[in-house]
Structure 1
Amino acid sequence: MTKPERDAGNPLAGLKEAERASGKKGMPPVHLWNPPFCGDIDMRIAQDGLWYYLNSPIGRKPLMKLFASVLRHDEDGKYYLVTPVEKCGIRVDDAPFVAIRMSVEGKGRDQSITFETNTDDIVTIDATHPMRVAVEAGTEGLKPYVLVRGRLEALVSRALFYDLVALGTVEGDWFGVWSAGRFWPMQRAAEIGAVA
């Protein structure tokens, strides 16, 4: 049996090839790959950032990080695992990543806020990694997100959200935080009571 015959029917057959392509040089260039769509697989990223395959949690972090390295969020709004030879759809409950640690350098307008995600990505809120704040449906609570790469965002965990609010200040009509020389609005100042 040839390798293509062995790989037929295995939706993740190109994962090892993608791993080799990434090497030690950074993330694989998934944005450049245009393989055929192979269908959806039973993989899901839960709101808490835990990955599931066939309803079983993926407990090995290196495997989760490997999958995350070939994750892409396309213009159609769907999430895919993409390798040079296949593209498989997966489900994402909210954001594919969760910001689990935060560090702050400087103070006030000179501060920079940096997050570490559950997949060990390090991102500073800046022009390349903007922060946006959404209103959670049904609760009116705020949910901040930071762009990690491509269209892939990290949801700022609830505990870090409170730390983020503690760094906030009012600028004009808005309450928000400063990072990397820019003010990032979170909520209108008149509505601050709804932050918690």
Structure 2
Amino acid sequence: MSSASEPIKGLNELAKAKGPPPVHLWNPPFCGDIPMRIGADGLWHYMNSPIGRLPLVKLFSSILRLDDDGKYYLVTPVEKCGIVVDDAPFTAVRMRVTGEGREQIILLETQVEEEVAVSAEHPLRFADEAQTGGLKPYVMVRRNLEALVSRALFYDLVALGAEEDEWFGVWSSGQFFPMKKIADVQF
């Protein structure tokens, strides 16, 4: 018979391990939805109260998964609980750039201190924002989980922009990530 503390013990061990756990390989039973939400600003909430402890948020983010049904779950080897995500589960809040032009590498860091280099493995995409007519940039962080690039960093990305084959976009890791057709850009 298992004790109620086993899932918590397992999470603590996961937190000590290097890299995210292989949640994509786990198929535990669904245990229902829990009152956890990730706001559009990247802030995690439990029972409508912000979770202020970064180590706890990092732990939860390490077991987050987006399934084919379009829902987000916290997944351990023994249970799967549904949560609500308002926009994207992560927010890119810091940026570093190495190199210049086509050779530059854009590194984005999330609110849970996970850094990715914009590349084929971690592409940027730009979605139309219906309310404003503008764009919302996203970067793939891991396993179908994206980060919304903060507005301030979006301006920094635009400043790095270049024209390529009638498109305005940015270069990173030897790849061009188009934002918008030049004919559609309004200044």
TM-score (norm 2): 0.95
Report the secondary structure of 1:193's partner residue: coil
User: Aligned ranges for residues 130-149 of structure 1 at < 5 Å?
Assistant: 130-149=123-142
Give the RMSD, CA atoms, in angstroms.
1.4
Q: Among the aligned pairs, what percent are the same residue?
A: 63
Query: Does the 8 A contact of 2:15 with 2:59 survive in 1?
Result: no
Task: Report the alpha carbon displacement of residue 3 of structure 1 after superposing the two structures with TM.
Answer: 4.1
Query: Does the 8 A contact of 2:90 with 2:147 survive in 1?
Result: yes
Partner of 2:43: 50
User: Aligned ranges for residues 144-183 of structure 1 at < 5 Å?
Assistant: 144-183=137-176
- Give the direction of change, closer, same or farther, for the CA distance of 1:137–1:19 in structure 2 (3 Å limit): farther
Residue from 93, 96, 105 that aligns with 1:100 = 93
Paired positions, count: 187
More off after superposition, 105-114 vs 24-33: 24-33
Partner of 1:41: 34
1:110-159 per-position Cα deviation (integer Å, ceiling 9, x unaligned): 11101010001000110110111101122111011000000100000000
Unmatched runs of 5 consecutive residues or more in structure 1 = 8-12
Partner of 1:189: 182
Report the secondary structure of 1:190's partner residue: helix
Unmatched runs of 5 consecutive residues or more in structure 2 = none
In the aligned structure 2, how far is the partner of 1:77 from the partner of 1:124? 25
Equivalent residue letter for 1:42: P
In the aligned structure 2, how far is the partner of 1:140 from the partner of 1:71? 31
TM-score (norm 1): 0.91
1:34-75 per-position Cα deviation (integer Å, ceiling 9, x unaligned): 000000000000010000000000000000000000000111
In the aligned structure 1, how far is the partner of 2:114 from the partner of 2:173? 18
